[in-house]
Chain A
Amino acid sequence: MKASALVIGGGPAGLGAALELAGAGIKVYLVEKEAAVGGWGARYVCKATDKCRQCSACLIPEKIQEVYQQPLVEILTNTQVVGVEGEAGSFQVRLQREQTLDPALCNACGKCLEVCPKGAIDRLNPWAAAYRIDKEKCVAFAGEDCDLCARACPTGAINFQRPVVNLDASVELVVAATGHQPFDARRKYRLGYGRFPRVITGLELEEALNEIEGTDIFGDGRKPLDVAFIQCVGSRDVQEGAAYCSRVCCKYALRLAGLMRHREPETQVTFYYMDIQTGGKGFAEVYQECRDDFAFVRGIPARVEGGDRLKLHFDGVSGQSFATREHDLVVLSVGITPSPDNAELARLLTLNRDEHGFLKGREGIYVAGTAAGPRDISESLAHGMETAANAIINLEGREG
C-alpha cells in the first residue's frame, strides 16, 4: 500500500504500531522526543529466576532491533511533533528535531562523558546505540558557555551550533503512542519517598537491579534483606485522581521480589496490599508460587518513619490490628498516570481525554498503549499492533 503514517512515541506501543504499518507496506515516521526509542520498558530488568517469569522486558530490545531493520520505518529521535493539520487520509505534519548530538555520528566512545563537569551525558537506556545530553543537567542548555563535550568528541557528533531542523511530511494517518508518567511518589509525603534514601519506587528498583548482578542496590555493602513492598501507590486512589487499577504494579512487584530473592535467597519480603490483581496470562500461577515465599499483609501502611531502619505503621487485621514493623528497604509500587504532555497533545491533535486524563482517538488519529490507559509491556505492544491493524483496515476501506 502506498501510504504514509506518523507514529508518535517509540515505546512498545509505538514500536508495535510502526512494525505493523511497515509490514503492510506503509512508510512510517516514528517520532520519539527522547534520544532513544524503547520507552520506560527499555529500562526494566529481566525478571527471570531459574526460569522465565514472562515479564516481557526482553520484548523491547527485540522490537527495537526489528524496527531498525525495517527500511520503511524512519526513526526520528530527539524529535517533537509541533503541528498537525488536515483530516483522516490527508494530514500535514510538522516535526522539529533537536540535533546537538547526532546519533548517526555518535559511536558511544565515551570521551564526552569523561569531560562533562555535570555528568549530563548518559545512555537513556541500555539498548540505546548513542549517548544523549540530559538537557536538565547540561549547563550549555541553561545558557552557560561550555562546549567541552563537543571538543572532546572525535567524530563531530556533538555540535551546539547545529540548528533545530523542521521536517514536513504528508501522512494518511497518525498513531499517538505517547505513553504515560509513573506516579510521582513524592505526593505521598507520609510514605517517606524523597525524605528517606531507602524508600524507593519500583521503577528505581528495576533500574538498580538492571545495573548490578546482586542486590546491593545502594552500593554500600548493606544488601536489603528485609524488604517491604507497598502496593497501590497512586492507583485506585480517588484523592489522587486515579480511581483505576494500574494493572502492572502487582505483577512487576511480585516479579521484582522474586528476582531479589533469587539473587539473594536470604531476602525476606513483605507485601502490604489491599488486594492482589492477578490479571493477565500466566500471572495467577506466578502469584500462587510465591504465596509461600513472601509474607502478605492485607493493609496499606499509613506512615513510614525514617531512621537506620524504616518503621511502617499498618493495620495487620487477623487478630493483629494496629502494628508497626521495621524493614531495611521500602519499595513503593507506583502506578501509571496520564502523561503531563496529554493536554498539549490533545490540543495539537484535536483529541479528547477521558475522565482520568488519558487520550481518546478520533477518525484518522489513533491512540495506542498507555497513552490510552494502563497496560503492561506485552499489552502495549499488542495494542499498538492492533491499533495499527485497525488503521490499515480503515485506510483500505477509504481507498475502496
Chain B
Amino acid sequence: MSVTATRLDPKFKYEVAAHPGGEEIKVCFACGVCTAGCPVSEIDPAYNPRKIIRMVLLGMREELLKSDLLWLCVNCYTCTAHCPQNVKFTNVIGALRDMAVKEGYVHPRFSGDVDEIDRFIQRLRRDMVLAAAQEKDAPTNLDPQGLLDQVTGK
C-alpha cells in the first residue's frame, strides 16, 4: 500500500469523528494492542485495525471505504476492551461501514448480507462446539473439516 499525498483527504478524519461511533478516532496513539488481540488479524494479517485507524487519520478515504477489509470485523469488541485510550474501534468500523454505504462504495444490501453471514457462522460455531463436546471426556485430535461435514450433513 502506498500513500500519495495529493490523494489524501485531510477532512476525512473529522467526518469520521463526527459520525456516531467515530468520536474517539483522533486520540489513538497507535500502540497496536487492537491488532494484537484481534481474532480476524490472527487469521488474516491483512486486516489490521491499527493500520485502518492510521488510514483514517491520514485521509485515505477512497482506499479505505472501498476496501473489502472493512467487512471482516466480527464485532467481538476485544480491541475496544483492550484499548488504553478508549478509541472504541468496533464502533469506528461501524461508522466506516455506514459511510461506505452512504457514499455508494457498497450496495446497502451488502451490509445486511454480512450480518446474515455472521448469524450463520454463529449457528455453525454453536453446532460444531456442541458436536465436539460429545467427545469432551476423551477428546480425539480435532478435525474441524470433519466436524463441519458432520454438522452440515455432508
Taking beta carbons and an 8 Å cutoff, which residues of A are in contact with B?
Answer: 190, 232, 236-240, 274-275, 298-303, 313-315, 317, 320-323
Contact = CB atoms under 8 A, between A and B. Distances in A.
Q: Most chain-A Cβ atoms within 10 A of its Cβ — which of B29, B30, B36, B50?
A: B36
Contact of B35 (A236, A237, A238, A321): A321
Contacts of B31: 232, 274, 299-300
B85 A315 contact: no
Contacts of A314: 32, 36
Interface stretch (B41-49, B59-67, B135-143): B41-49
B38 interface: yes
B45 A321 contact: yes
Contacts of A315: 32-36, 41, 48, 50
Interface in B12-54: 29-38, 41-42, 45-46, 48, 50-51
Contacts, number: 73
- Of the four ranges (under 10, 10 to 19, 20 to 34, 35 or more), the interface on chain B belongs to 20 to 34
A239 B46 CA distance: 28
Given A232-B84, A322-B48, A274 B36 contact: no
B32 A300 contact: yes
A322 B30 contact: no
B83 interface: yes
Contact of A322 (B45, B78, B84, B85): B45
Of all A-B residue pairs in the complex, the 3 with the closest CB atoms, nearest first, are A302-B37, A299-B32, A321-B45
A232 B29 CA distance: 12
B46 to A, nearest CB: 7
Contact of A240 (B37, B38, B84): B84
Q: Most chain-B Cβ atoms within 10 A of its Cβ — which of A240, A303, A315, A323?
A: A315
| Chief secondary structure at chain A's binding surface | mixed
A239 B31 CA distance: 14
Interface of B: 29-38, 41-42, 45-46, 48, 50-51, 78, 82-86
Q: Most chain-B Cβ atoms within 10 A of its Cβ — which of A275, A298, A313, A320?
A: A313
A303 B83 contact: no
A303 B82 CA distance: 10
Nearest to B33: A300
Nearest to B35: A315
Contact of B84 (A237, A298, A320): A237
B55 to A, nearest CB: 13
Given A303-B37, A314-B36, A321-B35, A274 B50 contact: no
Contacts of A321: 35, 41, 45-46, 48, 51
Nearest to B85: A238
B32 A317 contact: yes
B84 A313 contact: no
A317 B38 CA distance: 14
B44 to A, nearest CB: 8
Contacts of A240: 84
B46 A300 contact: no
18 contacts: A232-B31, A238-B84, A239-B83, A239-B86, A274-B30, A275-B29, A299-B32, A300-B33, A302-B78, A313-B37, A313-B42, A315-B48, A317-B32, A317-B50, A321-B41, A322-B35, A322-B45, A323-B45
A393 B45 CA distance: 61
Given A232-B84, A303-B37, A315-B35, A322 B29 contact: no
B33 A301 contact: yes
